[in-house]
Structure 1
Amino acid sequence: MKHHSKTLKTAALLCGLSSAAFAGEPPAQTAPASSGDSMFSDFNFCSWLANKPGTVYKDAGNPYLSEVNFFGRFHYNAAYVDGSGTNGKDWNEAYTDVRRFRLGTKIGFLNYFTLKAVANFVEDQRFNGSVLPGHRDLEWGYSDFDEATISFDAKKAFSIDQLDKLDLIYGRFKWHGGLEARTSSNEILTVERSAISNKLYDSARPTGFAVNAVKGPWNATVGIYSSDGRNVDLNVGDSIGNRGNNEFIGGWGDELMYNAEVIYSATEDLRFGFEFLYNGANKSTNAIAGMDDNLLPYKWATTLSAEYTFAANAGVNVEGFYGDNGNIDQHKTAGQYDRRGTFGGVVVTPYYWIIPAKLQLVGQYMYAASEQAQGIRSNSRYFRAADGGAVNSGRGDELQSVYGGLNWLVCGDNLKFQAGVQYETLNTNAGDGTADAVTYLFGFRTFF
């Protein structure tokens, strides 16, 4: 790589490691109200944004309609990548990405029921590296549903005093896969989730049934889901936005998926999480005629996480992963045998409040490895999206990344700016066997 690229890598590495000793998040601070006489003098934009401005009706005593709430989020990214490919050539690319634009509603009705529906209103595929120009577009307007569920409050309906919460839920779910995945995109500490977290999460939205129960410090969820989806565009192939999971509510014609999740709050400062994910589908994708739909690129996976706040303004999140890619790709070409086998990794994410509730320093180190030569994969944003360098589609047997960044919370997580630098290196069986890059990332996040 060019000399200045190596300097940038070193700076990114030091930035990430130097922040690895800090973390934690104190309570948000509320700005004092002003004392003017104007009707707007007491208005606080941040308080308004945080206090559900989309709630148009709320009456807990109404047995027919207790709440009507509208909400939304808008996320925007920009990135510049400077890297070296497996072909030994240097490359650089710049990207802008309308990351998310979602609108949704939450309606409480008939005492025990809650309807939640969220839709995506933008599809930005300019980063995806497709060889088809028509599939690298930015399109506004309705795209698909993100979530659509109806939940039943069984604790309230049946007066179950032994539990603090018991909900039965059916519909289109956001799939989990560890701490980062179950954390809302409004609240993640880095501009993007780590690559191994995204492997388990994989943006899947299966239709299914889940039970969520809470008792004291314990929170448990178990679910069964369908991998049945929809037909896809064979010209695009097996890629995000083109899988069989973009229906409103899917069917139950194919194989099943399962998850079990337990979260235990040992103290106010220490919380543990465990997840087990199992994918019953043994075919790759419904992009191939006659094959079962499949929403996940692995057979099973587990995660174990810990969130620890060890000071008023410092703490750390740690998460381990282990799973098996299975034989999902065996019906394809013989060369894709390299995508099977076991995989695992670890993610360490420290963060430190420079200015409480306003300016946050974040670091992250990720290590992922696999038994086979292509068993793990980098994020699509933005390392493997570059047209100018060969990165073997981000597939390899060892992937490491170091991230260092700052989060400026203008109105808490409701309105914030994120900036970071990430260095990642991939070992793969293509070309000279290595690819690496430094990526400068910017994110704008707002939601109500």
Structure 2
Amino acid sequence: MKLKTSLFLLTAGLLSSAHAGEVMVASGKGVEPAVQPAGSEKSIYDKIWGLATLYKSDDNPVLQEFALQGRLQLQWADGSSDQGDYGTADRPDEVLWGDLEVRRWRLGFKSKWFRQFKLEGQIDVSPNWDPEFYGKIYDLNLTWTPSEAFNIGIGKYKANFFSVEQATSSKEILTFERALLSNTLFTGELTGARVNGKIDNLIYTAGVYAGDDQREFTEFDAGVVYQAGIGYDLTSVTGFDKTIVKFDYQYSDDAANAGGGANYEHAFSFNSTWEKGRFGLFTDVLGGTGRGSVSDVWGFHVIPSYFIADGLQLVARYQYASGDNDGLRLQSRYERLASDLTDGGRGDEYQAVYLGLNYYLYGHKLKLMAGTEYHNMSGGGDGGDFDGWTTLVGLRMFF
């Protein structure tokens, strides 16, 4: 009954929102609320989201803006495979609200100081306040932004500009979960420093991080993770609304133990972003060279999308991954929860196809999602084969 109620509320919200009168338009970041004409009355969404801005004044030379920020992402999943069923009900009780999983819940602030500095941060909130409200510091950093060409910051970050999916915030990703290799090579939330900027059409990023993913900040006893990226904006020569190609590189020294990605000495991503009108496409070729018992991995994924109506977006993804000596492992959130899983879900070749719909009530700030994905893992050596489907529905919002 709880499951039926949850699905009913999601469906009812989707249908009723179609009559809310909020106009949506395609933009470089998916879909955003249409710009209000000068002097027109703000929409109910504008008024609600505007409450998060507690102070704003361009005339104040010290503090220009202070606002609250946060995100809440709820979802429900049901999966079946030749190695058993799995789904939201198999997730730990501390992340569940009835039949729904609290995928992410974060609260924090953002602020602008002295016209050139940004100070912001968020914490992960424990969904049931178990054992307490505060889970961990997700990010907390200070950035100096003197120009578009040069920005430098220090603090705790999600080390996320490696690969096109990780570089896209969970607030704006088009699928429920990132691809298997994107998660495999990701290192975590780390303490360090980064620089980035855009000079004409050239885009660059670089960062150095302590190699331990802690609840608060680094203890400086777990090696170093280095990241660098170079890209080029080709929009002016392609005729698209947006065209960016980028190469990202990551190096982790022998002592780094941040997350799965730090097990790979070298990791790379060659990715691109294409947008024109209602159409969008992300591509990514990525891989990593393992150390010790960790095998080399490589793969690719493509994510096309198309707005089939205002605010209604069709999204697909195909992903392929290969790992020597059973060097791959099924995604931990759902697939690895299969009731009769063999050999921990390991294998040497993985493929998955995702198809979903996103409905934007207020751009990425408030959207409903539904999708299904087919997964196949081929086992080599001692690995086990896996063949299954996962269906998901959910709501995502941020301010």
Fold-level match, TM-score > 0.5? yes
CA distance in 1, matches of 2:227, 2:375: 30
Mapped partners of 1:432, 1:252: distance in 2: 36
Residues 447 and 140 of structure 1: is their aligned pair in 2 closer, same or farther, counting only changes over 3 Å?
A: farther
- Return closer, same or farther for 1:300/1:344 CA change in 2, 3 Å cut-off: same
Q: Is 2:102 the counterpart of 1:114? A: no
Determine which of 386, 389, 392 is the counterpart of 1:441: 392
Aligned pairs for 1:187-206 within 5 A? 187-202=172-187, 204-206=188-190
Gaps of 5+ in 1: 1-22, 36-40, 125-136, 156-163, 230-244, 286-292, 328-336
Equivalences for residues 284-295 of structure 1 within 5 A: none
Whole-Å separation in 2 of the counterparts to 1:32 and 1:61: 24
1:376–1:397 contact (8 Å) kept in structure 2 = yes
One of 71, 74, 82 as aligned partner of 1:73: 71
Matches within 5 A, 1:359-370: 359-370=312-323
Equivalent in the alignment of 2:358: 407
Q: 1:381 aligns with which of 308, 313, 333?
A: 333
Tell me the SS of whatever aligns to 1:411. Answer: coil
Correspondence for 1:322: 287
Q: Cα distance, 1:273 vs. partner?
A: 1.8
CA distance in 2, matches of 1:404, 1:82: 17
**Per-residue deviation at 1:222?**
0.8
Maintained 8 Å contact 1:368/1:399: yes
Residue 152 and residue 29 in structure 1: after superposition, are their counterparts in 2 closer, same or farther (change >3 A)? closer
Distance 1:24 1:403, change over 3 A: farther
Count how many residue pairs are aligned between Structure 1 and Structure 2.
356
- Greater strand share, 1 or 2? 2
1:91 and 2:56 correspond = no
Alpha-carbon distance, 1:147 to partner: 0.5
Return the match for 1:146 from 117, 131, 138: 138
| Contact 1:223–1:258, Cα closer than 8 Å, also in 2 | yes
The alpha carbon displacement at 1:264 in A equals 1.9
Instruction: Mark the CA change 1:224 to 1:29 in structure 2 (over 3 Å): closer, same or farther.
Output: closer
- State which structure, 1 or 2, has the greater radius of gyration over its C-alpha atoms: 1
Amino acid at match of 1:366: Q
**Over the residues paired in the alignment, what is the CA RMSD in angstroms?**
2.8
Q: TM-score, normalised by structure 2?
A: 0.81
SS in 1 for 2:189: coil
Is the aligned partner of 1:273 residue 2:246?
yes
Distance in 2 between residues matched to 1:296 and 1:246, nearest whole Å = 14
**1:28-427 counterparts in 2 under 5 A?**
28=32, 30=34, 42-48=41-47, 52-85=50-83, 90-95=84-89, 96-122=100-126, 141-155=133-147, 164-176=148-160, 177-202=162-187, 204-227=188-211, 229=212, 245-267=213-235, 268-282=241-255, 296-309=262-275, 311-327=276-292, 337=293, 340-356=294-310, 358-373=311-326, 375-386=327-338, 388-427=339-378
Equivalent residue letter for 2:316: G
AA aligned opposite 2:74: Y
Instruction: State the Cα distance separating 1:265 from its structure 2 match.
Output: 1.5
Q: Distance in 2 between matches of 1:372 and 1:64?
A: 57
The answer for unaligned runs of 5 or more in structure 2 is 1-26, 90-99, 236-240
Distance in 1 (CA, whole Å) between partners of 2:260 and 2:341 is 28
Cα gap change, 1:284 to 1:217, in 2 (>3 Å): closer
Q: Which residue of 2 aligns with 1:4?
A: none
- SS of residue in 2 equivalent to 1:173: strand
The answer (yes or no) to whether the contact 2:224–2:252 under 8 Å persists in 1 is yes
Residue 5 of structure 1 corresponds to none
Q: TM-score, normalised by structure 1?
A: 0.73
